[in-house]
């Protein structure tokens, strides 16, 4: 059974950095592109970006490219999202996904002073 389990969320101050993790199981992690998606409290969905199965290539939403970095450790079956200089508008639930059908349970990030 495919499982994606995110962690690392919480309350963070504006301007700070935060790194989310997603541990994958139930499939050969190194065979798949992986993505991050976020959902705002108002339920708007936004695709953040994705990373090639070997970590050699990434795509990002242009509006987030300068502050967010996606990486992976295939030996640990783990996907990461490094968020820097966070803003209040980054407040959202962040999902790790193996597109199109597998999503984690999500992790909440709240940016507030």
Partner 1 sequence: DIQMTQSPASLSASLGETISIECRASEDIYSNLAWYQQKSGKSPQLLIYAANRLQDGVPSRFSGSGSGTQYSLKISGMQPEDEGDYFCLQGSKFPWTFGGGTKLELK
Q: Which residues bind partner 1 (CB under 8 A)?
A: 43-47, 49, 59-62, 95, 99-101, 103-106
**76-91 as b/e: b if 16+ CB within 10 A:** ebbbbbebeebeeebb
Q: Let me know: does 41 contact 20? Beta carbons within 8 Å.
A: no
Number of H helices, E strands in the chain: 0, 11
Decide whether 18 or 37 has the Cβ nearer to partner 1.
Answer: 37
Rounded least distance, CB 25 to partner 1, Å: 16
- For partner 1, the closer of residues 110 and 113 by Cβ is 110
As measured in angstroms, the least distance from the Cβ of 13 to partner 1 is: 26
Which residue number, 64 or 86, has a Cβ lying nearer to partner 1?
Answer: 64
| 90 in Cβ contact with 83 (< 8 Å) | yes
Smallest separation (angstroms) from partner 1 to the CB of 47: 4
């Amino acid at each position: 059974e495919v499982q994606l389990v995110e962690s690392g969320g919480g309350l963070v101050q504006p301007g700070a950095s935060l790194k989310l993790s997603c541990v994958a199981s139930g499939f050969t992690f190194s065979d798949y592109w992986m993505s991050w998606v976020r959902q705002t409290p108002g339920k708007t969905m936004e695709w953040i970006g994705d990373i090639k199965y070997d970590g050699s290539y990434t795509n990002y939403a242009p509006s987030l490219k300068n502050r967010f970095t996606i990486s992976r450790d295939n030996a640990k079956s783990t996907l990461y999202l490094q968020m820097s200089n966070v803003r209040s508008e980054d407040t959202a639930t962040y999902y790790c996904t193996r597109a199109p059908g597998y999503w984690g349970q999500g992790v909440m990030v709240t940016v507030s002073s």
